[in-house]
Structure 1
Amino acid sequence: MQGMIISNPRLEFLRPVLERWFDCIDRYNAVRGDNDTPYWHDEKANLGLLSAAAWMAELVTLRDTATRKQNEEGERNARADLFLAGAEDRAYIQATQRWPRVTSLNLTQALADITSDAKRISYASDLKLGCLFVAPQKAQHSASPEELQDMVDDLQKEHTCAVAWYFPYAYRKLRSEAGNYHPGIAVLFKEARG
């Protein structure tokens, strides 16, 4: 089960990146086998995959890049987790990750927090995005198809500019060392204005 929705036309340049992001997850899983999957790790690992996907989509990226920010006192230095650019489009991204329960995503506050953080990473005229990676988990047994569909429905209800999800069938029953099932990952983007 995979999909994406891009509701903000300014983020349409991310479509080929997100398509290749699915491929990067599959490639990682093919190389590492059934004992590991990238979305068990933190946002830095998942930003690495997103960065690789951007390069595959013929964009460029820089991780942990220096930026400048205008404030009341003048300019100051800032940092963005990821700078992503094409010939005509570019974005500064601030990212975090959550591991909520499959049946209770509750992402609104986390998305608001990371979007607020993204406001501080560059000039007001730049496209700044809050990026929330979500690796839902469930103890005891894997998520049912109904639970996966409910999660996708919940993801689509969040107020985002873009959302993509990937719950690969072959990996839905993988358990982490902690014994939790992680059926896949989603990424949500929200534009930070100001």
Structure 2
Amino acid sequence: MQGMIISNPQLEFLRPVLERWFDCIDRYNAVRGDNETPYWLDEKANLGLLSAAAWMAEMVTLQQSPTRKQIDEGERNGRADLFIATPEARAWIQATQRWPRVNSLNLTQALLDITSEAKRISYASDLRLGCLFVAPQKTQHGATPEELQDMVDDLQKEHTCAVAWYFPYAYRKLHNEGGHYHPGIAVLFKEARG
């Protein structure tokens, strides 16, 4: 089960990146085997996959990209988690990750928090995005198809500029040493304005 919705036309340039993001996850799993998957890790690992997907889509990226950071006292040198660009479009991204329970995503505050952080990177005239990676987890057994559909429905209800999800059938039964099943991952983008 995979899909994406881009509701902000400014983010349409990310469509080929998100399409290739699914491929990067599959490639990682094909090389590493079926005992782990990259989205169990943190936002840095997932930003690396997103960056690789952008390069596959003929874009350029730079992780920990130098930028100006807006603070109460003015501005100072800072870093964006990821800079992504085509010849026509570019964005500075600040990212985080959450591992909520399958039946209780509750992403609104985390999305607002990371978007607020993104507001401080670069300049107000630049496209700045809060990026939230979500790797839902469930203990003792994998998520049912109904639970996966409910999660996709919940993801689409969040106020985002773009959302993509990937719940690969082959990995839905994977679990870590702690007995937590992670059926897949989603990424949500929200534009930071002001």
TM-score, normalising length: structure 2: 0.98
Letter in 1 for 2:189: F
Unaligned regions of 5+ residues in structure 1, if any?
Answer: none
Identify the residue that residue 182 of structure 2 maps to in structure 1. 182
Secondary structure of the 1:82 match is: strand
Counterpart for residue 125 of structure 2: 125
Query: Quick one: which amino acid aligns to residue 162 of structure 2?
Result: A
CA deviation map 1:133-170 (0-9, x unaligned): 00000001100000000000000000000000000000
DSSP-derived class of the 2:181 partner: coil
Identity over the aligned pairs, expressed in percent?
A: 86
Which secondary structure does the structure 2 equivalent of 1:174 belong to? coil
- d(CA) in 2 for partners of 1:30, 1:101: 26
Cα pair distance change 1:122/1:33, threshold 3 Å? same
Q: Which moved more, 1:70-79 or 1:107-116?
A: 70-79
Structure 2 match to 1:101: 101
Distance 1:54 1:138 in 2: 30
**Number of the residue aligned with 1:27:** 27
Give the conservation status (yes or no) of the 8 Å contact 1:78–1:120: no
Which 10-residue stretch deviates more, 138-147 or 64-73? 64-73
SS in structure 2 of the partner of residue 104 of structure 1 = coil
Q: Superposition RMSD on alpha carbons, in Å?
A: 1.0
Partner SS, residue 80 of structure 1:
strand
Normalized against structure 1, the TM-score is what? 0.98
Matching of residue 168 in structure 1 with residue 172 in structure 2: no
Residue 69 (structure 1) shift: 3.8
CA distance in 2, matches of 1:185, 1:12: 20
The answer for the alignment partner of 1:136 in structure 2 is 136
Contact 1:2/1:168, CA 8 A, preserved across alignment: yes
- 1:35 Cα deviation (Å)? 1.1
Could you tell me how far apart the structure 2 residues matched to 1:81 and 1:68 are?
Answer: 13
Structure 1 residue ranges, 4+ long, deviating more than 2 angstroms after superposition: 69-75
